[in-house]
Amino acid sequence: MLGVQPHARRARRFGLLCAILAASLSALASSSAADGPSAWTPDPLEGIAPDSEGVFHRDPDPVHLVAPRNGRASGPVVVRNADLRRIRVSPLRGPDGSTVPTSQIQVRFATDRVEEHGWSHPSYDALLPRPQVSRPGPSEMTAIWITVHVAPETRAGEYRGTLEMDGLDVPVRLRVADYRLPDPRDWVSHAYLIQSPEAVAWTYEVDLWPEPHFERMEPSLKLLGELGNNVAHVAAIRRLHFGNDHAMLVFRREGDRIVPDFRFVDRFLALYHKHVGPPRVLNLYLWEPAQNPRDQDTEQARVTFVDDRGRLSDGVIPMYGLGKADDTWRQVIEGMRHRMRQLDWNPDALMLGAGADRRPGPSEIGFFNGFEPPLQWVVFSHWRGDPVHHVDRLVIGESMDIGYAEGPDPVVYRDRLGDRLRGGWREDIQVLWASSFRAHIRQDSSPTRFRCMPDLTVSDRYSGFTRVGLDGWRAPHPADGRPTDTIMRWRNGWFRLFRHNPRSITAPGPRGAVATVRYEMLREGIQEVEARILLERTLDSGTLPEQAAREVEAFLREWIQARYVSTGSGRTVEFAFPPDWRDHTFRLFALAGRVTRPADPTDRP
């Protein structure tokens, strides 16, 4: 038997000494962490829960952030045994003396529950302006989220600063790419988030529609605007799958006449215009059939009446298209279009929703086709047996004109060139066609899935995502105080439409909705998809030099392959972010910036 060589014995002794030294250093770090404040900087795509096991140090790793100009980036640091009453963040200093001032940096505190409103989540998710515990103990964790709003004029480069608290300094590193992200109102990708007036009223114990209610709704509309929301919905009938006890567009009696009353609609549209801007679709909910024909009342519409004192009551009026109340419904349409013109909105964006497996009959379609121009409909369908998507028009049957087509699940197709996935944004789509994410994302899904959702729903025929709840919190019902779901409270057979989509991606804060970790990851995902669409459009235009076109095409393939793993038929997608995903994101933004700059022969691709 050959003996062990001397150099091998030395190598083993050296390895043993290294292991002992590492164990000693780890024990020392743990001891110092227990004695004083310590921090851990996890990946923002990880879900941080109360039972998460992080590696805490007195000298933690930096919080790494990546953003385009006019964009936003967030990252967490988790602390133990630190006094949070004197927390501060320094300006971030970058190239040539440029800075990101503290006024553009938010420091918020993530929690898994808001006791005041009975809200909870499996992970630290709600982002509150103040910590719920001012000094967490050695075994307690507080998750702090740093969000930087990068001004449009910010120079590209690396910026450095520090988050300081109780003698603990956490480095903050921000990389800004030379790409100016458009304002949310100008984003190309589509987003439709459902705002729930009832959930806000119940949560904050205010009556539906008076001014205190709108004051509590305003933070929700601000958050809608930051996501570039494209669909405003106004309910004109009660007991929709949104869970509304009453409609926003109400009716009143004037002698023998029934007329629409727009007082609450006017206030809502003014706030929407202020915080979100002109929608691509104003979905006037006049039609939501029960999916079981036996439950469908085709003769009457459930509406809300208002009296001279502003009190609301249930009521019914004859359905449109039957002749009995057509004048009333005509005033509804003309009044809505008039208000849209006053706000300088496109009145043709007024659409009727929403049909699903059951569609309106000839009398309903005929009534709305009698307007000039005819009104279009919103339809949620698998589109099996229906006409395929046309470039500028989608008509079902002989005369049902569809202006907004919703589909159930996104599909990422395999590339013709091999076993690769691709995005495939189509610029020629004129009729909005958006995808529900009901098979891929839930209320408690990981931040990774929320980050990926916008990217996955901009593929092939789809323009973006639909049917995600913004603030549909479970809240005490005013009648009995029992915690009650708002969205899908009355399913009406529409569970298949919404299914497991998130009811809310915000949390109830002190005076209204506040963002969550899921919200911030969704927003940053939209930022990424805007850059990707720009690259795909530029590549398809044929205007790039050959070498630059090859680089863009190679990067787009790499982008999809790095994020998504197709299973089986390619219709089911799993998510697999690489460890260097921040570098991928920075390269995406930097490449988008280069293709938008004027051609420079000295600029190598």
Closest CA to 525 of 437, 471, 448, 586: 448
Mean pLDDT confidence for 197-223: 97
What mean pLDDT, rounded, does the chain reach? 86
Angle, in degrees to the nearest 10, between helices 326-342 and 362-369 = 40
Contacts of 16 (CB under 8 A, 6+ apart): none
pLDDT at 317 over 90: yes
Q: Which of 115-119, 276-280, 540-544, 574-578 has the lowest mean pLDDT?
A: 574-578
Closest CA to 365 of 339, 402, 409, 393: 402
| Helix-then-strand count for the chain, H and E | 11, 32
- Pick left, alpha or beta for residue 493 (phi over 0 → left; psi -120 to 50 → alpha; otherwise beta): left
Percentage of residues in the chain with pLDDT exceeding 70?
Answer: 84
The pLDDT tens digits of the residues spanning 374-414 come to: 999 998 887 777 776 555 678 888 788 999 988 877 655 55
Q: What pTM, to 2 d.p., does this model score?
A: 0.90
Confidence of residue 214 (pLDDT cuts 50, 70, 90): very high
The pLDDT tens digits of the residues spanning 569-602 come to: 545 566 778 889 999 999 999 999 999 876 544 4
85 and 134 Cβ atoms separated by less than 8 Å: yes
pLDDT at 117 over 70: yes
Q: What's the chain's Rg over C-alpha atoms?
A: 27
End-to-end CA distance of the chain: 60
**What is the rounded CA–CA span in Å between residue 485 and residue 478?**
13
Structure tokens at 3: 């003996």
40 and 78 Cβ atoms separated by less than 8 Å: yes
pLDDT at 565: 64
**What is the rounded CA–CA span in Å between residue 36 and residue 28?**
12
Question: What are the distances in angstroms from CA 236 to CA 239, 303, 339, 426?
Answer: 10, 7, 15, 34
Q: Where are the domains of the chain?
A: 38-179, 184-532
Mean pLDDT confidence for 183-211: 95
321 and 364 Cβ atoms separated by less than 8 Å: yes
Structure tokens at 427: 């610029």
Alpha-carbon dihedral 93, 98, 103, 105, rounded to 10 degrees: -50
Domain 184-532 top-level CATH class: alpha beta
Q: Examine residue 37 and say whether the peptide bond preceding it is cis (omega within 30 degrees of 0).
A: no
Contacts by 562-566 with C-beta closer than 8 Å and gap 24+?
563/452, 563/455, 564/412, 564/421, 564/452, 564/456, 566/412, 566/414, 566/421
Q: Find tokens 């990068």 and name the residue.
A: 150
pLDDT at 33: 45
The identity of residue 504, as a single letter, is S
In which element (H, E) is residue 126 found? strand 126-128
pLDDT at 299: 87
Structure tokens at 303: 């509406």
Q: Three-class SS of residue 425?
A: coil
The pLDDT tens digits of the residues spanning 432-490 come to: 888 887 777 889 999 999 998 898 888 767 889 998 999 999 999 998 899 988 887 77
**What is the rounded CA–CA span in Å between residue 13 and residue 24?**
17
Mean pLDDT confidence for 16-38: 55
pLDDT at 353: 84
pLDDT at 11: 44
**What is the rounded CA–CA span in Å between residue 347 and residue 571?**
37
The pLDDT tens digits of the residues spanning 251-309 come to: 999 999 999 999 999 999 999 999 999 999 999 999 887 766 665 667 899 999 999 99
Structure tokens at 192: 């439709």
pLDDT at 204 over 80: yes
Which residues are bridge partners to 435 per DSSP?
Answer: 407, 465
Overall fold of domain 38-179 = Immunoglobulin-like (2.60.40)
Residue 242: exposure state from Cβ atoms within 10 A (0-12, 13-18, ≥19): buried
